[in-house]
Amino acid sequence: MTGPARRLVAELEPYVGDARVLGAIATVPRELFVPPGMEDRAYDNEAMSIGCGQTISQPLVVARMAALLQLMPGDRVLDVGTGSGYHAAVLATLAARVWSIERHAALSAQAAIALAAAGVHNVTLSVGDGSRGLPALAPFDAINVAAATPPDALGGLEAQLAPGGRLVAPVTGPEQRLVLSRREADGTVRRRTLEEVRFVPLVRDPEP
């Protein structure tokens, strides 16, 4: 681990106790996912602009969301809002395969370059509106949503969880909060509302 990566992990450790997640943060080279010229700040615990009005998420939030998903090495994961691809790379380090969808083709193309440079080969990218998930590839063991989700979009995504599957999403309301959903073995979905967060909005295309 490089010095800056070690400092970042030490900074996150008091808030994220999950050793596998901290290991993933330590191994994914975040300097490959930040905009050119920002490499010297890649291990600051901060979000940054990545173009198209979007941001690469703060490492603490990525680590916290990954820990909430309790990923297992065999898991199939859906990631909505690829952005820089950094969050997808962290998830891919913890799971078997990640399908990540982004509505800006330019960001997806850039993410593909960064993921290849990082040696992450188990992320499949696609371009489009991920607000309705990827029904053709469902069910997923875990779903990560990286854009602020209107509450009425949550059910359609939760429907794509396998039994025992988990979903984490920032959900809009009087304040934006992380919601963790779990599909129980009997098929019911339980939701927990957690801490306040700040994500860019999930932009939905009109119903086809």
Of residues 58 and 70, the one with the C-beta less far from ligand SAH: 58
Q: Quote the CA–CA distance of 181 and 20 in Å, as a whole number.
A: 21
Phi-psi category of residue 153: left, alpha or beta, with phi > 0 → left and psi -120 to 50 → alpha? alpha
Helix 105-117 vs helix 86-94: angle between axes, to the nearest 10 degrees? 50
The yes or no reply on residue 59 touching ligand SAH (CB under 6 A) is no
Rounded Cα gap, residues 41 and 202, in angstroms: 27
Q: To the nearest 5 percent, what fractions of the chain are helix, strand and coil?
A: 35, 30, 40
Please report, as a single letter, which amino acid is at residue 192. R
The single residue of 49, 57, 126, 131 carrying the catalytic annotation is 57
Choose between 17 and 150: whose C-beta lies nearer to ligand SAH.
Answer: 150
Q: Does 30 bind ligand SAH (CB under 6 A)?
A: no
Number of residues binding to ligand SAH, judged by CB under 6 A: 24
Complex with ligand SAH: residue 67 or 107, whichever CB lies closer: 107
Shorter beta-carbon distance to ligand SAH: residue 60 or 186: 60
Q: Which of 112, 180, 189, 200 binds ligand SAH (CB under 6 A)?
A: 200
Q: Which of 59, 81, 133, 165 binds ligand SAH (CB under 6 A)?
A: 81
Strand pairing class (54-56; 161-171): unpaired
Which is nearest to 168 in space by CA: 114, 87, 54, 108? Answer: 87
**With binding defined as CB under 6 A, does residue 102 bind ligand SAH?**
yes
Which of 147, 154, 168, 179 binds ligand SAH (CB under 6 A)? It is 147
Pick one of 87, 166, 182, 183: the residue that binds ligand SAH (CB under 6 A): 87
103 near ligand SAH, rule: CB under 6 A? yes
181 belongs to the binding site for ligand SAH (CB under 6 A): no
Nearer to ligand SAH, 152 or 186 (CB): 152
In what helix (H) or strand (E) does residue 198 lie, and over which residues does it extend? none
- Give every strand in the sheet of 189-196, ordered side by side: 123-127, 97-102, 76-80, 140-145, 161-171, 177-183, 189-196
Q: Known catalytic residue: 84?
A: no
The residues annotated as belonging to the active site are 57
Residues that bind ligand SAH (CB under 6 A): 54-57, 80-81, 83-84, 86-87, 101-104, 107, 129-131, 146-147, 200, 202-204
